[in-house]
A and B are shown apart, each in its own frame.
Chain A
Amino acid sequence: DIQMTQSPSSLSASVGDRVTITCRASQSISNFLNWYQQKPGKAPKLLIYGASTLQSGVSSRFGGGGSGTDFTLTISSLQPEDFATYYCQQSYYTLRTFGQGTTVEMK
């Protein structure tokens, strides 16, 4: 199985901060990497697919990058509605796998 490892597991930040979350795959997955946001009691919401393509309707303050094994999700200026848990997911291999999540908390 492809293991997806996110870092950090959690972080504390303030409104207006620039936040970066990292996702590492145990094998190369080209750019078959997606990012999701999840708020408590809700389903995950797609933010970015193909490592860097913003899903329709998602704020441009979200950005993604990377290829191969190392990927990043960046929030350029954190807003109150961005406090949530973020997951990466690979879709290169038939067995889809997710990272363990990164929780962005208010400082």
Chain B
Amino acid sequence: QVQLQESGPGLVKPSETLSLTCTVSGDSISSSSYYWGWIRQSPVKGLEWIGSVFYSGNAYYNPSLKSRVTISVDTSKNQFSLRLDSVTATDTAVYYCAREHTVAISHLDNWGQGALVTVSS
């Protein structure tokens, strides 16, 4: 059974960079059937898709965040990562990593437990 686990700092200062890693177990991140994505949730914005990455490194992003976000993959560690630059208080949210099944209709079929990231000085 696939499991995903987010890790990273829970507190980031304004204007700095938010970095999170998702470790995948029980499945290979190199599978051609999946993308690997990041979604965040806040009381103001609800659920917001940030972007997804394929094992090849091909990634696509939410245009509203594209200038600040990078999602990368490390197949040797079975991990993928999120980097969000120049954060502000509005980036405070619970960040989830998830597996996106891409056969036929794409859907997020497995999620991590979530990591609360607070942006504050």
The closest CB in chain B to the CB of A45 belongs to: B111
- CB B43 to nearest CB in A, in angstroms, measures 11
Q: List 27 A-B contacts (CB under 8 A).
A: A31-B105, A32-B106, A34-B107, A34-B108, A42-B113, A42-B114, A44-B47, A44-B96, A44-B108, A45-B111, A46-B107, A46-B108, A46-B109, A49-B101, A49-B105, A49-B107, A51-B105, A53-B105, A55-B107, A55-B109, A89-B47, A91-B106, A94-B60, A97-B49, A98-B47, A98-B48, A101-B47
**Residues 43-56 of chain B, each 1 if its beta carbon lies under 8 Å from chain A, else 0:** 00011110000000
Q: Report how many A-B pairs have Cβ atoms within 8 Å.
A: 56
Q: Is the interface of A mostly helix, strand, loop or mixed?
A: loop
Asked whether A89 and B46 contact (CB < 8 A) given A43-B114, A95-B63, the answer is: no
| Complex contact B111–A43 (CB within 8 A) | yes
B residues near A, CB below 8 A?
46-49, 60, 62-63, 96, 98, 101, 104-114
| Complex contact B49–A95 (CB within 8 A) | yes
| Most A C-beta atoms less than 10 A away, residue of B47, B62, B114 | B47
Which A residues are CB-close (under 8 A) to B112? Answer: 43
Cβ of A87 under 8 Å from chain B: yes
| Complex contact A44–B111 (CB within 8 A) | yes
**Residues 64-107 of chain A, each 1 if its beta carbon lies under 8 Å from chain B, else 0:** 00000000000000000000000101010011111011000000
- CB A34 to nearest CB in B, in angstroms, measures 5
Cβ of A50 under 8 Å from chain B: yes
| Complex contact A98–B105 (CB within 8 A) | no
**Residues 2-41 of chain A, each 1 if its beta carbon lies under 8 Å from chain B, else 0:** 0000000000000000000000000000011010100000
Distance, CA A103 to CA B55, complexed state (A): 36
- CB A53 to nearest CB in B, in angstroms, measures 8
| Complex contact B107–A98 (CB within 8 A) | no
The closest CB in chain B to the CB of A101 belongs to: B46
Distance, CA A100 to CA B46, complexed state (A): 6
